[in-house]
Structure 1
Amino acid sequence: LMSDNPSAIKRFAEEVAPAVREHVAAARARPRREPASTEVIEAGSTEAPQAAASRGEAPHTAQAPRAVTRPGTPNTSGLGVTPTPAPEVRLTDRQLWDESTRPVAPPPPPGHVYSARARAVGQHLIDVHNHLRRELARLRDLLEQVKKGTLSAAQARGALHEMTMRQHNWSLGAYCAAYCSLVTQHHTIEDGAVFPHLRRADSGLAPVLDRLEEEHVVIHELVLGVDRALVNLIRQPGDFSELQEAIDLLTDALLSHLSYEEQQLVEPLARYGFYPGQV
């Protein structure tokens, strides 16, 4: 990841960025689903046929109230696995989505007992997300090191300064390319395999999964923004403002998204697994 090889950026531009663009285009091409209703559907009542038809689903009988907690509140009290909260402080003032409109997953069946394996499956999502969080922290730390190194190198002489600065920029570029690829692969796996499985297992999760997929599209746009800022940095060494803003936006959005996803999916994953037959 820390290779000083410019081919890393070239490879990102030729392979990863086009794949991200295809993923974004495919997500945009999917028919938009109607937002989930915020009404509480009592256990044993029948969902309005119009509401089910609007989502292309057959009417079904609700087994439990749907809107029982505010958006962002996890239903994991009996699971023994704690989702990671989103940071209280944001790095930017831009609002990429309205968090108050995030749907909430249906509560688990009353008295449901989770096995040790089920708890481990739920925890696995947090573990994967923690890896993304650590890598994001490393990316931000590397950017700060490069910025400090650039200031020091400005006192160096001529060609040595130019060479040092470019070398640091290519190292940052290689890491950015690798991290953006990691985020893209993670979301592609979720959208292509995990989410369809959860939809089949529990149709009540559809509003949450729809929202998560929409947020994936926004995050992929931000990944492309990091790519563009990186290319501009290589063209104009020393000006980190655009890249800093792009990484700050990605940080705010990704950490908020990962927390929301954990709050809503850790418990369902403990019951249904990442794939059929896992739990």
Structure 2
Amino acid sequence: MPLHEFDSAQAAAPPAVAARTQRLRACATRAAGCACCGVARRLLWLCFAAVRHGDTAIAEMLAAEAEHYVDAGAHQGGCPQVPRPAGLRGGRTPAQGRVPGPAGHPGVLVAATDAGWKRGTCGLGYVIDDGRWGMHGWKFGPQDPTGPAKVLVSELRAVGLLLDRIDDDGADLVLLLDSLQALRFLSAWQGGDTGRMPDGYDLRPRRYGAAPSLVRLAARVARMPGLRLEHVKGHSGHPLNEAADSLASIARRRVTEVFDSPARAAGLVEAFLRAWHTPALAA
């Protein structure tokens, strides 16, 4: 069931029916491969049909039956309707942490960002040489505003994720990227050309009237004259770039898989930062 169809039908339902169907939103709109949710989805369709015909009692009965199938049925692995186990949730929520180690260069932060996109799932990652790291992953939906330049937009969003973390530090920042396209956009924004956006990127306001993320990022970069942008070749063994790439991969995996992703991420970051700092310490 398309998301807009579910939202319209739910909005027309009596409050009691709407409340019961809310928890079945993922089942109705995203669990296409789960047979259990398929049965519940058909019941929801009949429920909304009953609402349209003014039969609230039948609608409530069908909603309750759909809930039963969702609660008691055997779901397919990775079904979005099934809550993740405690402690391993949050595949679609940004994760961040900090590992122990050298503090980096006083007054200067060196950071790397990266993004990965595969089969409709995106992952973003960043690492800072003082031990901080973060990642975020999600699936692209039919109403996603990214446009056709998904890899480029994802690379830029990874930069936004990083800047959200260090916004108040006041330190100079050296930013390492392996995407020349992303570097060109960042350089243009830093030079004041904040209206330049990737082709096809949707510039309409987001929820609650918020500006699109890249519009906000462009304005932020324009206010960072001290930002130093540097290109690094991807998959060349650069420790910070490899760490950011690994975090993006973990972020993409954790959208559909259940595993201890924060521990995995922290271990990789610690190893890559050790490699990054060791030559400087030895010198």
TM normalised by structure 2 equals 0.25
**Structure with greater helix share of residues:** 1
Q: Counting strand residues as a fraction of each chain, which structure ranks higher? A: 2
Structure having greater relative contact order (Cα 8 Å, sep ≥ 6): 1
Q: What is the TM-score normalised by the length of structure 1?
A: 0.25
